[in-house]
Amino acid sequence: MKQIWAPWRAEYIQAEKDSVCIFCTAPQKAPEEGLVLHKGNTSIVMLNKYPYNSGHVLIAPLRHVARLEDLTDDEGADMWKLTRHSTSSLLKVFKADGFNIGLNLGKAAGAGIEEHIHLHVVPRWSGDMNFMPVLGDVKVISEHLHQTLSKLAPFFEHV
C-alpha cells in the first residue's frame, strides 16, 4: 500500500470544532489568518481553507443568513458582482480553463456550513483529473493557501 504524507491535515483533524461561523469571524481577522481577499459593505470573498483546487474561493454575505430568498437585493447583486470579479481574477492569475460555480443550500444538498449561505468558485483546468483522485481518492493541491492569497490579493484591492 502506498501512503500519502499530508501532516498539515492533522491540524484540522485534531482541532476543536468551532461553533462560531467562519463567515462571521473571518472579516475581523487579519487577511492571512482569515484568508480574506475582500471585505465589502455587504459581502466577503475568502479562500476555502480546504479547497477542491488551488484558487477555490468562497463568497458570502456579511450578514448571517442561511437562505437564498432571505438575501437582500443589494447582497445578491454584490455576491454576483464578486463572483464575476473572482472568475476574472482567477483567469488572470491561474489561467483557469473553466469554473465550477455553485451553492449548496441545506444539509441534504451537501452544505458544510448550512447556517450561512455561501457561493463556491472553483477554477478548473482541462485534464485536471489525474490518477490521484481516480485511484487513490486523494486530491493534490499544488499551492499553499498563503501563496494563493498573495497572488490574488492585488486583484481585490479596488473592488
C-alpha cell at 133: 483522485
Q: What pLDDT does 134 receive?
A: 44
Res 129 pLDDT > 90: no
85, 118, 120, 158: the catalytic one is 118
Q: Look at residue 10 and tell me if it is in a domain.
A: no
> Residue for cell digits 468551532?
18
Q: What pLDDT does 29 receive?
A: 94
Average pLDDT over residues 135-155: 76
Q: Look at residue 28 and tell me if it is in a domain.
A: no
Reference 126, options 95, 147, 101, 102; nearest CA is 95
Q: Look at residue 7 and tell me if it is in a domain.
A: no
Q: Look at residue 97 and tell me if it is in a domain.
A: yes
Q: Look at residue 85 and tell me if it is in a domain.
A: yes
Q: Look at residue 147 and tell me if it is in a domain.
A: yes
Task: Find the CATH number of the domain harbouring 96.
Answer: 3.30.428.10
Res 34 pLDDT > 80: yes
pTM of this structure: 0.79
Q: How confident is the model at residue 132 (pLDDT cuts 50, 70, 90)?
A: very low
Q: Look at residue 12 and tell me if it is in a domain.
A: no
Domain coverage including residue 117: 34-156
Q: Look at residue 26 and tell me if it is in a domain.
A: no
Tell me how many domains the chain contains.
Answer: 1
d(CA 96, CA 113): 26
Q: What pLDDT does 131 receive?
A: 45
Average pLDDT over residues 8-16: 64
Residue 38 is a catalytic residue? no
The kind and range of the H/E element at 10 are helix 9-14
Q: What pLDDT does 135 receive?
A: 42
